[in-house]
Homo-oligomer: A and B are copies of this chain.
Amino acid sequence: MLYKLIQTIDRFHPFSEAKAHCDIPCGIYDPITAQINALTVVRMMDLIAKITEGDPKDHADYHNSITRYISVKEEHAEKAKHEIRVIWGDFIKTAHTEKYPQLTELVHQIMQLGSKCRQTADRNQGLAFVDAINQFAEIFWAIKEVKTKKAKAPYAPGLEMVYPDL
């Protein structure tokens, strides 16, 4: 049945023409949204680490803050995954994955890291998430033939990020 599907798809997805056409239905892709969301995840992990330091607490403000940090972390990890999924699903064609064979596995890792970032408050997971999305950004801009540079994000946690060199 897979064979039949591939035939069916071939009829509708002229991949060899993909590059020329991909912007017409697709609009505007930019990994910066995923990158900012991933940075926010690390930021929330830092705030969670800070508030849970020291003795156990059990008052309203403590609960209010930690619940908000966790909830913002959830939301931004999810948004980062969603943004990468959109670029991967709508912009990346078979021609691109042939040129960058590590791309699909990288996307799969981003999804898994995003889930890890929701399941824990472990900063190392957050850093790996940011790192993986930066790698994705590097490949994305290379496909677009736009040069990239590295620079520290202009806000906490101030990690080194991949930016297009415009």
In contact, A112 and B89 (Cβ under 8 angstroms): yes
Do A121 and B61 have beta carbons less than 8 Å apart? yes
Query: Are A155's CB and B30's CB within 8 A?
Result: yes
Number of copies: 6
Q: Name the prevailing secondary structure of the A interface residues.
A: helix
Q: Are A108 and B121 in contact (CB under 8 A)?
A: no
A positions within 8 Å CB-CB of B:
1-2, 4-5, 8-9, 11-13, 23, 25, 27-30, 32-33, 36, 39-40, 43-44, 48-49, 52, 56-61, 63-68, 70-72, 74, 81-82, 85, 88-90, 92, 94, 97, 102, 104-106, 108-109, 111-116, 118-122, 124-125, 127-128, 131-132, 135, 141, 144, 146, 149, 151-156, 163-164, 166
Q: A29-B155, A94-B108 are in contact. List 17 more A-B contacts (CB 8 A).
A: A5-B131, A27-B72, A28-B43, A28-B153, A48-B60, A48-B64, A49-B60, A57-B58, A63-B66, A64-B70, A65-B119, A71-B74, A85-B85, A89-B111, A90-B115, A151-B166, A152-B166
